[in-house]
Structure 1
Amino acid sequence: MEKKVVCVTGGSGCIGSWLVSLLLDRGYTVHATVQNLNDEAETKHLLSLDGASTRLRLFQMDLLLPDSVLSAVRGCAGIFHLASPCIVDQVHDPQNELLDPAIKGTMNVLAAAKEEGVRRVVITSSISAITPSPNWPSDVAKTEECWTDVEYCKQKGLWYSLSKTLAEKAAWDFAKENGLDVVVVNPGTVMGPVIPPRLNASMVILVRLLQGCDETYEDLFMGSVHFKDVALAHILVYENQSAAGRHVCVEAISHYGDFVAKVAELYPEYNVPRIPRDTQPGLLRVKDGAKKLMDLGLQFIPMEKIIKDAVEDLKSKGFLS
């Protein structure tokens, strides 16, 4: 039987926690990395997961310190590399806050994977490495072939998108040069019930929307997806030998305006702003935008349930009144 020991970097985050939970459910032993072992906000929710007492080990890791990466990866057959800062608000120091941790961090994880003879590395990229891509034809659906326009990101100060794009490109270059088996998942705006005590950037966007924020995220949205489905997508591409390349991970390619309209319909009691339906210029809507993952057997949770699961969870935990 294949050695079922895997490492999840960024294990304490919203996607990471779901992934650790599902891996434990499937009988894996998990090395999950956190930034601070003494911070209960990072550790307590992981240690309370089913199976954690016997099959979960926590490691304190700094992406920029190769030795701390290596100690977490040692003895693992596979790696899920999720750890990467996500800041969609104003960034004061892009190089140190976003670019270095994303790019150098990914290189350190891949170097450790190579050194330890890891079987497969699954990297969490983002639709932010696919869009904004203003030169992509508007009558063609965006696919895994599409890449974010680096110069456009630099001009508009889209540092998160730039960090995800450059980190993913560097990963593909490293994999090619070193014969490393890498597959990538590109999630959209990820929402649903939150396991950690802190919200991710996507859930903060939802809270702001319900409080009346009329931002349209023109360059940052390509569709929504449930936390559980993103975690399942990672496991699917890890376990399926045939899985290769990038994998768009959204329940459908849609506009933020579609999402806002659905939130307003489901929750009329909130002050959801009226915004135009077409908020992403040149983005063609497609029901099966994540066809590669669908072909691997993933049945996506629809937008309506993503929203309900997310809002009810936010209400139950006091993030929304």
Structure 2
Amino acid sequence: MARDGSNDGAARGGLVCVTGGSGFIGSWLVRLLLHRGYTVHDTVKNLQDERETKHLQALDGADTRLRLFQMDLLDAASVQPAIDGALGVFHLASPVILQPDRDPETEVVEPAWKGALNVLRAAKDCGVSRVVMVSSQTAMVPNPNWPADKVIDEHSWADVDLIKKHELWYNVSKTLAEKAAWDFAAKAGLDLVVLNPAWVLGPTLTPSVTLSLHVLLQILKGQSFDMDAFFIGSVDVRDVAESLIVLYENPSAQGRHLCLESSQRMVDFTNQLSDLYPELPVQRIQEDKQDWLVRAKGPSKKLIDLGVRFTPFEKTIRDTMDCFKSKGLIKHLKRQTIRKTFT
């Protein structure tokens, strides 16, 4: 996790806005912001849905320093009220849909980049001092032109044509949204910094598990997922939330920031899971198809230089499993033992 001491960046205790703060990352971010003395405007899709609001309203400090706003990313008029008066904005809200039902452009891609622009315009109009945006490592890979012997870093961008060809629409949405954000910030003179987390795991504050945890749960149940084109590792959700605050509070933080504990391949990930929980039906990968990915410890050098200390993989997984157990999600996952009787 990151350092706890104060710094010479943004003053704590001011008003900040978090878009999409009811989700997996957002809930942890709001919790940490409240703990540090900030006042928070948080946006949700539906104020009447307790699945979005109840866990936020239960946070320490929420009764006096948290206000919820209903927001539609594609409705510019609904964006500004939550941002008005804020010193900083954390933009997290974006569709998280891996397989759209009908049209990926209208369901996933357009809401991501148009929504980002609506938030950034409102931030500019309201005189916000800094915007911290959550992008993704999926906006970095696959990149066929990346040197084969070089660890992935912030200079890498995903090949949009390639990810469209593979119909990785979430990846497309994150890549185009981040590109649109950088273009707008450059033209408008807006202070923007971006966090690019890897696969986010860890315990959740939400009442149900969100997509990234659902994928892990399915892997624990024995399902396999083809992530060879873009998997580069994982990161603890608490480290992601802490990193966002570090980027906000440190004026020296500039540009993109890769956020993961270590650069590893999917074969490494499933092997570690299987070793930690041999009683579960985790499928070990038999063929490593990720020779394009260079393994590395501590690849998030920019964040480490700012004081971020990443949670070890094993602790993240064990804390995630404890969360699954508390929600009754893994009680039926034990590997079945087959006994043969010889006569």
- Shorter chain as denominator, the TM-score bin is over 0.9
1:75 aligned partner: 85
2:74 aligned partner: 64
1:19 aligned partner: 29
Q: Does 1:45 align with 2:59?
A: no
Shift of 1:90: 5.2
Aligned pairs for 1:146-295 within 5 A:
146-276=156-286, 278-295=288-305
Q: Does 1:128 align with 2:138?
A: yes
| DSSP-derived class of the 1:96 partner | helix
Q: Please tell me whether the aligned partners of residues 91 and 131 of structure 2 are also in contact (alpha carbons under 8 angstroms).
A: yes
Between stretches 289-298 and 196-205, larger displacement belongs to: 196-205
Q: Distance in 1 between matches of 2:326 and 2:29?
A: 22
Larger Rg: 2
Between stretches 230-239 and 83-92, larger displacement belongs to: 83-92
- Relative to the length of structure 1, the TM-score reads 0.97
Q: Distance in 1 between matches of 2:191 and 2:131?
A: 6
- Structure 1 residue identity aligned to 2:170: Y
Q: Distance in 2 between matches of 1:279 and 1:260?
A: 14
Deviations 1:136-158 (A, max 9, x none): 12111111000000110111111
Indicate how the Cα distance of structure 1 residues 178 and 36 shifts in structure 2: closer, same or farther if over 3 A, else same.
same
Q: Distance in 2 between matches of 1:96 and 1:89?
A: 13
Deviations 1:4-49 (A, max 9, x none): 1000000000000000000000000000100000000000000000
What is the percent sequence identity of the aligned residues? 54
2:46 aligned partner: 36
Q: Distance in 1 between matches of 2:54 and 2:63?
A: 12
Between stretches 114-123 and 272-281, larger displacement belongs to: 272-281
Q: Please tell me whether the aligned partners of residues 100 and 107 of structure 2 are also in contact (alpha carbons under 8 angstroms).
A: no
Structure 1 residue runs without a partner (length 5+): none
Indicate how the Cα distance of structure 1 residues 199 and 45 shifts in structure 2: closer, same or farther if over 3 A, else same.
same
- Structure 1 residue identity aligned to 2:104: P
| DSSP-derived class of the 2:255 partner | coil
Indicate how the Cα distance of structure 1 residues 31 and 25 shifts in structure 2: closer, same or farther if over 3 A, else same.
same
Indicate how the Cα distance of structure 1 residues 279 and 207 shifts in structure 2: closer, same or farther if over 3 A, else same.
farther
Shift of 1:279: 4.4
- Structure 2 residue identity aligned to 1:170: A
2:115 aligned partner: 105
Q: Distance in 1 between matches of 2:311 and 2:69?
A: 32
Match of 1:114 among 121, 124, 133: 124
Q: Please tell me whether the aligned partners of residues 91 and 159 of structure 1 are also in contact (alpha carbons under 8 angstroms).
A: no
Deviations 1:55-90 (A, max 9, x none): 000000000011110011011000000000112245
Q: Distance in 1 between matches of 2:163 and 2:246?
A: 31
Q: CA RMSD in A?
A: 1.2
Q: Runs ≥4 in structure 1, deviation > 2 angstroms?
A: 88-92, 276-281
- Structure 2 residue identity aligned to 1:172: W
Indicate how the Cα distance of structure 1 residues 36 and 270 shifts in structure 2: closer, same or farther if over 3 A, else same.
same
Q: Distance in 2 between matches of 1:75 and 1:311?
A: 40
Shift of 1:220: 3.2
- Relative to the length of structure 2, the TM-score reads 0.91
| DSSP-derived class of the 2:59 partner | coil
Shift of 1:253: 1.0
Q: Please tell me whether the aligned partners of residues 20 and 30 of structure 1 are also in contact (alpha carbons under 8 angstroms).
A: yes
Shift of 1:281: 3.8
Q: Please tell me whether the aligned partners of residues 7 and 79 of structure 1 are also in contact (alpha carbons under 8 angstroms).
A: yes
Q: Distance in 2 between matches of 1:91 and 1:299?
A: 39
Q: Distance in 2 between matches of 1:13 and 1:34?
A: 9
Structure 2 residue runs without a partner (length 5+): 1-10, 332-343
Indicate how the Cα distance of structure 1 residues 142 and 105 shifts in structure 2: closer, same or farther if over 3 A, else same.
same
Q: Distance in 1 between matches of 2:81 and 2:49?
A: 20
- Structure 1 residue identity aligned to 2:252: S
Q: Please tell me whether the aligned partners of residues 148 and 165 of structure 1 are also in contact (alpha carbons under 8 angstroms).
A: yes
Q: Please tell me whether the aligned partners of residues 13 and 36 of structure 2 are also in contact (alpha carbons under 8 angstroms).
A: no
2:7 aligned partner: none
Q: Please tell me whether the aligned partners of residues 130 and 192 of structure 2 are also in contact (alpha carbons under 8 angstroms).
A: yes
Q: Please tell me whether the aligned partners of residues 13 and 39 of structure 2 are also in contact (alpha carbons under 8 angstroms).
A: no
Q: Please tell me whether the aligned partners of residues 258 and 277 of structure 1 are also in contact (alpha carbons under 8 angstroms).
A: no
